[in-house]
Amino acid sequence: MTAIYIHIPFCRVHCPYSDYNTYVGMDSVIPNYISALQNEASYYSIKEQDEITSIYIGGGTPSILSPDQLLSIFTSIEKNFNVSHVTEITIEVNPGILNGDLLKSMHQLGINRISIGAQSTNNLELQALNCSYTKSMINKSVIDVMSSGINNINIDLLYGIPHQSNKSWKKTIKDILLLDPTHISLNCLELSKTSQMHSYLSKHNLTLPSDDANAAHYKSASEQLNRSNFKQYAITLWHKDNKLTMSRHNLTYLKNTYHIGLGAGANSWYKSHRYYNINSPYSYIKSLESKIKYSSRQKNGTPASSNVIYVNKSTEMNETMIMGLRLVPSGIDIQEFQQRFNISPIAHYEKTLEKLDKQNLINITKTNITLTNHGELLSNRVFSEFI
Ligand code: SF4
């Protein structure tokens, strides 16, 4: 199970709350950026070795690419990776930058899952986030996606927005359920001190909702989703009806199995190494213009890598615990962990697990280690025990 992530770092506007590695007004470099992505993919010529199970095109705003540009990317992915087992190809889109023809082309290219960054259906909250779209544009985007033949749809929602009340948050969830997506992700607005929105809030003497208010939003949304036909499968992630609507790509991260990230600022986790790419699209393109072939990609990364870190077994085990406990309600599969690392997590983490169990933060059965409801609310405290 290896996933491919492709980062498209270009946006039409820069949202003040966003800390992603994104750039506005750089459309002219997109053709060179695509050539660089193709070059980077060629450094991972692992066609015979790993079966790729999912591809995710994220950003930024990948829907600003034309169908021909998407086709060039897919062609080079097919050339360099074994994609015969790919069952999920997702692209992120923003409401308002979509049209029926583009969606039909995406469907024809094999994209079978769309992730819409809606955030809220309350127009005042969307304005507070400086989003260029409205609730009616979100509705239209979902209808357009469904008519294109792509029926696996994720909607990203945000809580913790200034002035958001629990009533307006519940209304957002209700509006989104009426649109009948297959997957919903709930994210809490977190602002770094350097974000534009952080300075905007300080300037206007506005504050973000308290941690308690955010915990109440998360709890009420969980209850609302669980009462509908959605099931939770990880912290912040819900899917509809059957297992096929869980995001295969997210599961790769949650199981801490390999992913290969292509593009400016992307990172990879592959064969005991983490590779971090250069952030700037200009430097990324330049680095991949060189024709020097690396003799040992695994050791040195690709010409776009700015940092390569070797991950030893003990760190990999810790990271697998931290990621796996995010799976709710399944958690860590004890047998699967034992097969992977040749040691039972119960034996390896005996004292830590005992302590967390006593604090009612985790639950240990014969087959799984899971977060309790209390542990889910205090998950960062649990994860810190494995660092
Ligand atoms: S939130 Fe989305 S559209 Fe806004 S800057 Fe970040 S990536 Fe771009």
What are 377's two structure tokens? 């609310």
Taking residue 127's Cβ as centre, other Cβ atoms within 10 Å add up to 12
For 196-230, write each residue's pLDDT tens digit: 777 777 776 777 888 889 999 999 999 999 999 99
Q: How far is the CA of 131 from the centre of ligand 1 (A)?
A: 9
| pLDDT at res. 299 | 61
Q: 334 C-alpha vs ligand 1 centroid, how far in Å?
A: 38
For a ligand 1 pocket test, name from 11, 97, 155 the mutation site with the most ligand atoms within 8 angstroms of its C-beta. 11
Within 290-387, residue ranges assigned H as helices are 297-300, 313-324, 334-341, 345-348, 350-358, 373-377, 379-384
CB 33 within 8 A of CB 280: no
> SS3 of 320, please?
helix
The reported pTM is 0.94
DSSP assignment of 144-166 equals HHHHTT---EEEEEEE--TT--H
Whole-angstrom Cα Rg for the chain:
21
Atom 7 (ligand 1) nearest CA: 60
Ligand 1 centre to CA of 36 (Å) is 22
d(CA 147, CA 311): 45
Q: Which atom of ligand 1 is nearest to the CA of 94?
A: 3
The per-residue pLDDT for range 239-295, each reduced to its tens digit, is 997 778 999 999 999 999 999 999 999 999 998 999 999 999 999 999 998 755 544
Q: In which residue are the tokens 């190494």 written?
A: 273
Q: Say how many Å lie between the CA of residue 72 and the centre of ligand 1.
A: 24
* Fold for the domain defined by 2-253: TIM Barrel (3.20.20)
Lowest mean pLDDT among 35-49, 74-88, 222-236, 324-338: 35-49
CA atoms within 13 A on the CB side of 286: 7
Domain spans in the chain, listed from the N-terminal domain onward? 2-253, 328-384
The mean per-residue pLDDT over the stretch 177-184 comes to: 97
Could you name the CATH architecture of 328-384? Answer: Orthogonal Bundle (1.10)
* Residues with Cβ within 8 Å of residue 210, at least 6 apart in sequence: none
Atom of ligand 1 nearest to the CA of 19: 6
Per-chain mean pLDDT for the chain: 92
Q: Which atom of ligand 1 is nearest to the CA of 20?
A: 6
Is the pLDDT reported for residue 352 higher than 60? yes
Pocket of ligand 1 (CB under 6 A): 11, 14-15, 18, 20, 22, 59-61, 94, 117
Q: Say which range, 133-147, 194-208, 248-262, 334-348, has the weakest mean pLDDT.
A: 194-208
d(CA 11, ligand 1 centre) in Å = 6
Q: Given pLDDT bands bounded at 50, 70 and 90, which one contains residue 296?
A: very low
CA of residue 117 to ligand 1 center, whole Å:
9
